[in-house]
Structure 1
Amino acid sequence: MIFMNTTNNEFSKNKPINIFLPESAQKKLFLTFWLIFLIRIGGSIPIPGIDENSFSNLFQSSSSVQNVLQNFSGSNSFPTLFSLGISPSINASIIMQLFLSINPDLKKMQREEGEFGRRKIEQYIRYLTLFLSLVQSLFLSFSFKQFIFGWTIFKTIEISFFLTTGSMVVLWISEVITKSGITNGSSLLVFLTIIGNTPQQFKQLLPYLNIFNSLLIIFILFVTVNSIIFLQQSTISIPIVTLKISTKNSETANLRQKTFLPFKFNQTGVMPIVFTSYMLPILTSVGYFCLQKINNFHIFPFSIICPKIFGQIIYFGVEFFLICLFTYFYSTLTLNPKDVSDDLQKTAFFIPGIRPGQQTFRYLEKLFQRQALIGGFILAANAVLLNVVSLICKVQIVESISIGSQIIIVGVIIEIVEKFRALIISDIYKNYFKVKN
């Protein structure tokens, strides 16, 4: 309970204002907890028609079944109503962002049609989520053919509809959390999945840790988490002025000097890590295949053997390069300097010392490129650093402390803190003006 001191006697005599948990924050928090509870219930409802005993026995002994579940449902447990989770929606959002960058009609609708265009894009994402959920559920259902009682094609379709319905329910819950809860729904669900898997992962890791490994991992976590906080919280502020403000008025001149166009230092979030995780296994397989074919055809008079340490160096180098490349590529998708330049020109704003139009575009393009390269370098360095530590300690770094997981965890925590801070400040002002009136 915190008290606010003011010069208004009537306000100070009134009841103290609780700015720790205002009513609006309590409602959002309660709604979010209730929806998370529904997610947990849906995650406990098993898919009908599957032999749970035979599935569990094979699951314990077969890594291929675990890989199928991990690839298509993102979990390593018996398939349930919400097994697909939020992954189809996230994949649909990524695909839609790629479509927006290559389709001028979609891009024009998003930029020029305001709220209508935004809702139309969201509708397209829902349709794409439905399609991806159906495809994933069909693959998952056919992979469980041996566990289905009295298998028929109709039972497989029935199970796929069951999984697809669960995925769309999860999408609806995430949208409700985003609209009326405490943070972005999709990020929160991924955050909860990571946190939920952390204890089990660390439990499996404990037998392989010693004092040196533990201290080294703690130190590296301290470095990487602070780097992620720097990337997530740092902004670039570009000073802008407008022709509508008179420079003769000293008061407006001071206001003009305080007008900035802020841009987050890291515009890409976790996407470069996601793209790199998709590409690295493919490139590794292609590399080993080509090396095997070269040795089989005896192109050289000797067999080419790649030492393990040399292979690790190449792997880390390719990983570093791909993260930097995807950071640069995805930055151009999320933040186009041409669009920013056009918007400034339309609203009669310009950057001091730089002419509107082409010069502004070139200035912003160089600034964003430099920003993307620095951000990509920091992100790649931290990702490779964790892998090097994993190699030194001879233990597999758990998924919950990877760079991608750190970005999600830090981002969600920061967003929740900022949301509560805004609600607290809003509650203070509402109570203050209520007493003043």
Structure 2
Amino acid sequence: MASSVIVAHPEGIPMLQAVLRAIQLPDLRRRILFTLGMLMIFRLIAHIPVPNISPNALDQLQSALANNQLAQLLNIFAGGALQNFSVAAMGVYPYITASIIMQLLQPLIPALQELSKEGEQGRIKMNRYQMWLTIPLAYLQAYGQTQTLEYSVNPTGDLTMSLFRSPFNIATNFLPTFTILTTMVAGTMLLVWLGEQINERGIGQGISVIIFGGIVSRLPGIFVQGWQVSQAGGLSTFIGVVGFLIIALVTIVGMVLVQEGQRRIPVQYAKRVRGNKVYGGQSSNIPLKVNMAGMIPLIFAQSIIIFPGIIASWFYRPGAEGIGNAIAGFFYTTFNPTGQGGGVIYMILLFLLTVGFTYFYTIVLFSQQDIPDSLQRNGGFIPGIRPGKKTEEYLGRVLNRITLVGALFLGLVAILPFLTQSITGVQLGLGSTALLIVVGVAIDTMRQLESQLLMRDYEGFLTR
């Protein structure tokens, strides 16, 4: 049956042809150039340091990032701005967190659920609430992120080893500390504003494009690092680097197939006669995506599993005695990819959390769409399935089966960097989360570009 086929290659305009045609059209060319201009401004902001930073801090920060998994994850979303400790050191991560919280609160708060159904006006209000929520979250993240990095660089509290010229302490050194936090929050809100401008005047989803630009800007450095490693390590290291790149390319192909994979559920609309006119009677389909949750479960899982190890690192002292230090050491080594058993426990937990969050977030998104009720209101039905509760149960069963493929794939993607490092002996700092973001944003942007081109072709046909 057609409904059981997973489609992974949707028809569309070839990518290169779409780009060339877009450049030839003046309005699309302006949109593309505007998007590139916003990305250039973002990269400029990413190199403006926060006030009160110590001149020798950046070298210390590089080594601290190498040993802090949470900071590495945040550095991805900041597009490398965290390693420069710039005003954009948090990237747009607080805004993403606020967005996720608002989505999770909609099924729990009836007022938000009703607001989401009010069309454009409801969307504007929801976006305003999301902006308000972003500011306190940004202050909390700025303080926690900076405090964690400060402790990683300067665990003894020696001012000569600090990231800053004066102590980072909100109680004893309020004004300089608050200035640093406010500058970081302002940088985040500026990036969010740039993303909104891309939404209105550019191409692609603005916030995602900002993250995409930050990750892509680091690729030349990664390739240079791979070349240096292969040159310095001899033939075996060169083979390892080549193997790493091959695995990365295969992973990208798999990501494209899974991101585009969908199961199409056939839908029939009943005929309705009003006067002398007949409405309905068409056939359509419901495209259920294999990976409806996108990259969010991977971010959730990585953030949560890293958190206990980060907290434990504040209390653990290697070589020290005492039950408290032993407990802290257990959490520090267990929730660490290079900890006990070569990180096996860490990888198993990361895999299971990713699979679990994929199912959870998919159910949340699917329930918000309310497809069975929408079909019933518009006279639609799935052939062989009764409308209402039976349709909801059928779609739930189908969604659970296809989500299993997406969840297992995301779980594999989550632990792929550790497996790749074990196989090739090489790690170039190109994480699976970064690859998934790049692939997802590239596909979404090209889809928007294609829709813009098709719309202009259709308008041109009507004016002939």
Instruction: For residue 278 of structure 1, give the secondary structure of its aligned residue in structure 2.
Output: helix
- TM-score when scaled to structure 2? 0.75
1:256 aligns with 2:277: no
Q: Which runs of 5+ in 1 are unaligned?
A: 1-16, 298-306
Change (3 A) 1:49 1:67: farther
1:187 aligns with 2:208: yes
Change (3 A) 1:54 1:210: closer
Q: Name the structure 2 match of 1:327.
A: 358
Whole-angstrom distance in 2 between the partners of 1:409 and 1:368: 25
Whole-angstrom distance in 2 between the partners of 1:389 and 1:150: 42
Q: How does 1:72-91 map to 2 (within 5 A)?
A: 74=78, 75-91=81-97
Change (3 A) 1:65 1:135: farther
Contact 2:74-2:82 within 8 A present in 1 as well? no
Q: How does 1:90-109 map to 2 (within 5 A)?
A: 90-109=96-115
CA drift at 1:274: 0.9
Contact 1:58-1:65 within 8 A present in 2 as well? no
How large is the RMSD of aligned CA atoms in angstroms? 3.6
Q: Name the structure 1 match of 2:131.
A: 126
Contact 1:386-1:397 within 8 A present in 2 as well? no
Change (3 A) 1:141 1:219: closer
Whole-angstrom distance in 1 between the partners of 2:312 and 2:142: 32
Change (3 A) 1:81 1:310: closer
CA drift at 1:231: 1.2
Whole-angstrom distance in 2 between the partners of 1:131 and 1:311: 38
CA drift at 1:137: 3.1
CA drift at 1:270: 0.7
Q: Spell out, residue by residue over 1:194-240, the C-alpha distance to the aligned partner (whole angstroms, 9 max, x if none).
A: 11222323433442563432343233223321211111112221111
Structure index of larger Rg: 1
1:280 aligns with 2:305: yes
Change (3 A) 1:185 1:18: closer
Instruction: For residue 34 of structure 1, give the secondary structure of its aligned residue in structure 2.
Output: helix
Query: In the alignment, which of 185, 191, 194 is matched to residue 173 of structure 1?
Result: 194
CA drift at 1:359: 0.6
Contact 2:65-2:71 within 8 A present in 1 as well? no
Whole-angstrom distance in 2 between the partners of 1:285 and 1:130: 24
1:415 aligns with 2:436: no
Q: Spell out, residue by residue over 1:387-417, the C-alpha distance to the aligned partner (whole angstroms, 9 max, x if none).
A: 222112223352x3x3322221112222222
Contact 2:301-2:354 within 8 A present in 1 as well? yes
Contact 2:259-2:440 within 8 A present in 1 as well? yes
Whole-angstrom distance in 2 between the partners of 1:72 and 1:285: 13
Amino acid at match of 1:84: M
CA drift at 1:67: 7.5
Whole-angstrom distance in 1 between the partners of 2:254 and 2:435: 10
Q: Name the structure 2 match of 1:47.
A: 50
Whole-angstrom distance in 2 between the partners of 1:163 and 1:337: 33
CA drift at 1:269: 0.6
Aligned residues: percent identity?
26
Q: How does 1:26-425 map to 2 (within 5 A)?
A: 26-51=29-54, 53-56=55-58, 58-59=60-61, 74=78, 75-110=81-116, 112-139=117-144, 146=162, 148-149=164-165, 152-205=173-226, 206-207=228-229, 210-245=237-272, 256-257=282-283, 259-282=284-307, 312-336=343-367, 339-396=370-427, 398=429, 400=430, 402-425=431-454
Whole-angstrom distance in 2 between the partners of 1:68 and 1:409: 20
Whole-angstrom distance in 1 between the partners of 2:70 and 2:304: 18
Contact 1:383-1:403 within 8 A present in 2 as well? yes
Q: Name the structure 2 match of 1:13.
A: none
Whole-angstrom distance in 2 between the partners of 1:309 and 1:135: 31
Whole-angstrom distance in 2 between the partners of 1:162 and 1:287: 29
Change (3 A) 1:347 1:428: closer
Change (3 A) 1:45 1:66: farther
Change (3 A) 1:239 1:57: closer
Whole-angstrom distance in 2 between the partners of 1:132 and 1:77: 21
Aligned residues: 397
Instruction: For residue 91 of structure 2, give the secondary structure of its aligned residue in structure 1.
Output: coil
CA drift at 1:167: 1.3
